[in-house]
Chain A
Amino acid sequence: DAKTTQPPSMDCAEGRAANLPCNHSTISGNEYVYWYRQIHSQGPQYIIHGLKNNETNEMASLIITEDRKSSTLILPHATLRDTAVYYCIVRTRGSGNTGKLIFGQGTTLQVKP
């Protein structure tokens, strides 16, 4: 699975959009981008995933560049409860895949009032 690079920390004002970047320059054609977050001391929580098109769900939006070498997770209206460590993970998907996730250091997002 391709390696990812994320900034170690970011701040965001409450109510504003939080844009979390991720670089994955060695991503291959069959690899998806997944985002998880971990709120203090809890188990990680799945947020969203995508292959090459932009994706949106009730939690967030995922923007993947055309060359697929980087992506941005957008929390449109950050709240204090969004303060967490956000992990960007690249991996293949589909039958025969064991589903293993390789977690890096992630980005610690601090939402401030």
Chain B
Amino acid sequence: NAGVTQTPKFRILKIGQSMTLQCTQDMNHNYMYWYRQDPGMGLKLIYYSVGAGITDKGEVPNGYNVSRSTTEDFPLRLELAAPSQTSVYFCASSTGQGAGEQYFGPGTRLTVT
């Protein structure tokens, strides 16, 4: 199993540009999550999904959108990039029934200038 994969690894965006961060898991997990981590800080939850077609907001959803059309994929969309969205983004997945053991991807380092 590849586990949780994320693309791209690095990206530089100009203010106002849009992009989609990709996340795929091959463990057949129902639950998936997007976090962001600013320098020197802990992770903050952006959005999460408990199954295909179901998504909900986390702590810091503003400026982001998600969709979950399949169990495997959970893309994160930035519509109008702002410098405040410069961060490292981590995707994670877990088994059903609210298990706390989440498996994280390697992250996407995004810079908005």
Contacts and interface: CB of A to CB of B under 8 A. Distances in A.
A36 B33 CA distance: 16
Nearest to A108: B40
B100 A99 contact: yes
Contacts of A46: 100-103
Interface string B82-113: 00000010101010111111111111000000
Contact of A99 (B90, B94, B104): B94
A103 B59 CA distance: 11
Interface residues of A, number: 28
Given A44-B43, A103-B42, A103-B44, A98 B106 contact: no
A93 B90 CA distance: 22
A91 B104 CA distance: 18
A104 interface: yes
B48 interface: yes
Interface of B: 4, 31, 33, 35, 41-45, 48, 50, 56, 58-59, 88, 90, 92, 94, 96-107
Interface of A: 32, 34, 36, 41-46, 49, 87, 89, 91-106
7 closest Cβ pairs, A-B complex? A97-B98, A43-B104, A103-B42, A103-B43, A95-B97, A99-B98, A46-B101
